[in-house]
Amino acid sequence: MAAIAKAPARPARAGRWVRTRDGWWAGLFLGPQVAFLLVFLVLPLGYAVYLSLVQWDGFGPKTFVGLGNFTAQLTDADFLRAVWNTTKLALITVPVGLALAVLIAAGLAGIKGSNFYRVLYFMPVVTSSVAVALIWQVILADDDNGVLNSTLRRFGLDGPDWLGDPGWVIVAIAIVTVWSSLGLNVVIFLAGLQTIPPQIVEAARIDGASSARIFRSITLPMLSPTIFFSTVVAVISSFQAFDQIYVLVNPAHNEGARTIVYQVYKLGFKDFQFGMSSAAALILLVLTLLVTLVQFAAQKRFVHYDS
């Protein structure tokens, strides 16, 4: 009996050993990532929360002000304008960018030599954002060298001062953002399209469905998880827009181009108000979280995971 009772003990010890050994390996591989997250994400975030509660110019002593920085920012006309500019940018770039990407991906899915076009559309994604901004500066300039306005003038149209007019600058930024992110979205949607079983499309075609009907009733619903993913990513990246705008337009000279991240940068590194800057950054974080939560709540109605 005893021998029988002891018999399973050996494999059990071996299993624990295997589990322990696996645990060590897992720890070894996960350790650097966890350390990285702690050092470069959790700690700075915690420090930003602390800074948002104090008044600090970067050198002198810190004065505790409670939620004063938050209320100051939420009632500050410049910050509210930045929130509005950022929202406008997201409202233009996300639907336009994704709709264009879906259409282009659907078009590319069925044609020969689509790889060439994939490369073509993807090129702006791998181009430095500074280079992209500098090229578009020439295209959008409101002078004799401005490619877009010169072209419009040939057709008798008078284009706006894209980069100088605060009312138009967000549109100009949106054009550049859509252009530079289009390739990535096209590639993601092409991958999404490949997950649609061809037999479903084929069956619909045999039933006499037109291409438009197939696109509306099969492609779009089955692509909805990919669209949802891309929407979340696109919204987050429009809320974080900064580098391209900073080079394309000098937001210091054009209030229409001041986004939330620019405001965070200006408050911290130009005005030396690190408490205010941290509060603005945290408001951006909360805003992004809220919008993402709304998107996740809304996806239950629009996203179809069944094949």
Partner 1 sequence: MKRAIALLALMATTAATAACSGSGGGAAPGAAGDGQVVLRWSTWGTADDIKLYEGFTRDFEKRHPNIKLKLESVSDYADYHPKLFTQLTSKTAPDVFFVGDDNIGKFVSSGVLTPLEGLLAGPDSKSRPEDFFEGIYGGAKKDGRIYGVPNDTNPEVLWFDKKALKEAGIGENPADLYAAGQWTMDKYLDMNAELKAAGKAGSIFWNWYGSTYSVINGFGGKVWDGGRFVATTDAGARKALQTLAKGYQDKTFLSADVLPESNSASTRFLKHDAGFYAGGRWVIDSLRKGGELDDYDIVPFPSPDGKPMPGAVAASYMAINKDARNPKEAFTFLTEFVSKEGQLLRLKGGGAVPSIKGAEQVVLDGYPQHAQTFLDVRDTGFANYPDEVAVPGLTAAINDELLKVWTGKVPFDQGMTELQKAVDGMTS
Residue 202 makes contact with partner 1 by CB under 8 A: no
Token pair listed for 229: 């993913």
Measured between alpha carbons, how far is 237 from 137 in angstroms, rounded to an integer? 21
Determine which residue in the list 2, 3, 4, 28 makes contact with partner 1, applying CB under 8 A: 28
Residue 143 touches partner 1, criterion: CB under 8 A:
yes
Scanning 83-91, 103-111, 249-257, 294-302 for contacts with partner 1 by CB under 8 A, the matching segment is 249-257
Asked if residue 243 binds partner 1 (CB under 8 A), the reply is no
Per-residue interface string for the shown chain with partner 1, residues 144-183, x marking contact by CB under 8 A: xx---------------x--x-------------------
User: Residue 72 Cβ, how far from partner 1 at the closest point, in Å?
Assistant: 9
For residue 180, the minimal CB distance to partner 1 (Å) is 22
Nearest distance from residue 271's CB to partner 1, in Å?
A: 4
Per-residue string for binding with partner 1, 56-95, x by CB under 8 A?
-xxxx-----------------------------------
Single out the segment in contact with partner 1 by CB under 8 A; choices: 61-69, 81-89, 112-120, 139-147: 139-147
From CA 96, how far away is CA 32, in angstroms rounded? 39
SS (H, E, C) the chain: CHHHHHCCHHHHHHHHHHHHHHHHHHHHHHHHHHHHHHHHHHHHHHHHHHHCCEECCCCCCCEECCCHHHHHHHCCHHHHHHHHHHHHHHHHHHHHHHHHHHHHHHHHHCCCCHHHHHHHHHHHHHCCHHHHHHHHHHHHCCCCCCHHHHHHHHCCCCCCCCCCCCCCHHHHHHHHHHHHHHHHHHHHHHHHHCCCCHHHHHHHHHCCCCHHHHHHHHHHHHHHHHHHHHHHHHHHHHHCCCHHHHHHCCCCCCHHHCCHHHHHHHHHHHCCCHHHHHHHHHHHHHHHHHHHHHHHHHHHHHCCCCC
Query: Considering only residues 252, 290, 294, 298, which one is a binding residue for partner 1 as defined by CB under 8 A?
Result: 252
Question: Among residues 269 and 302, whose Cβ is nearest to partner 1?
Answer: 269
**Count of positions on this chain that bind partner 1 (CB under 8 A):** 24
Q: Which is nearer to partner 1, 59 or 305 (CB)?
A: 59
**Considering the complex, what minimum distance in angstroms separates the CB of residue 209 from partner 1?**
53
Q: What residues numbered 6-25 form the site for partner 1, per CB under 8 A?
A: 24-25
Q: Should residue 271 be labelled a site residue for partner 1 when binding is judged by CB under 8 A?
A: yes
Q: What are phi and psi of 305, to 5 degrees?
A: -95, -10
Q: Minimal CA–CA distance to 73: which of 279, 291, 269? A: 279
Nearer to partner 1 (CB atom), residue 65 or residue 141: 141
Q: How far is the CB of 138 from partner 1 (least distance, A)?
A: 10
**Which of these ranges, 128-136, 140-148, 190-198, 231-239, lies near partner 1 under the rule CB under 8 A?**
140-148
Handedness of CA 77, 82, 86, 88 (dihedral sign): positive
* Chain positions contacting partner 1, by CB under 8 A: 24-25, 28, 57-60, 141-145, 161, 164, 250, 252-253, 255, 265-266, 269-272
